[in-house]
Amino acid sequence: MIIRSTATAICLIALMTAGSAMAQSASQWAKVGELGDRVTYIDLGSVRGSSTDNAAVTISVSKASTDIAGEQTRWSFNCRARTYHATGYRDVEADLTMGEFDASTEPPEPIVEGSMVGAIAQSVCDGAESDDIHGSLAEAVAAARGT
């Protein structure tokens, strides 16, 4: 089998490892990649479907900016839902900045921030699956809150 993209590889890895996590309603975040200051996690609970028609949510955490004194670092979350179909794939993406953190600390784990970020990510993924794609983070937040 030839894997043509990183996203496909991530979905295949998650499909092989999700098992019992898919049956749980809580998000199960797994680290799937790291490049410089950017760390990417996948929500194992969001992976569903077959190898030709499926959906998955990934969240990337990256160091977005540092203030002049270098004492505070802003970490930003990038939430992506990707659906694969026999005819191709679609992406839905939203950025979410999660406040300021001490520059000496590790980036916040999505599992710690999971309640809000996970709800948004799942909402975006669900929307993509049902062809009701949320075009912005605001729409995803509203959908996640049920408003």
pTM of the model: 0.40
pLDDT of residue 112: 34
- The upper half-sphere exposure of residue 122, i.e. CA atoms within 13 Å in the direction of its Cβ, equals 19
Q: Which residue has the higher pLDDT, 52 or 15?
A: 52
In a domain, 81, yes or no: yes
pLDDT of residue 74: 56
In a domain, 38, yes or no: yes
Q: What is the mean pLDDT of residues 111-129?
A: 48
In a domain, 1, yes or no: no
In a domain, 123, yes or no: yes
CA–CA gap between residue 109 and residue 101 (Å, rounded): 12
Domain count, the chain: 1
In a domain, 113, yes or no: yes
Q: Which residue has the higher pLDDT, 84 or 77?
A: 77
Has residue 83 got a pLDDT over 60? no
Domain that holds residue 93: 6-145
Distances (CA, A) of 85 to 50, 51, 81, 88, 90: 9, 9, 13, 5, 8
In a domain, 14, yes or no: yes
Q: Which residue has the higher pLDDT, 112 or 94?
A: 94
pLDDT of residue 120: 52
In a domain, 104, yes or no: yes
Has residue 95 got a pLDDT over 60? no
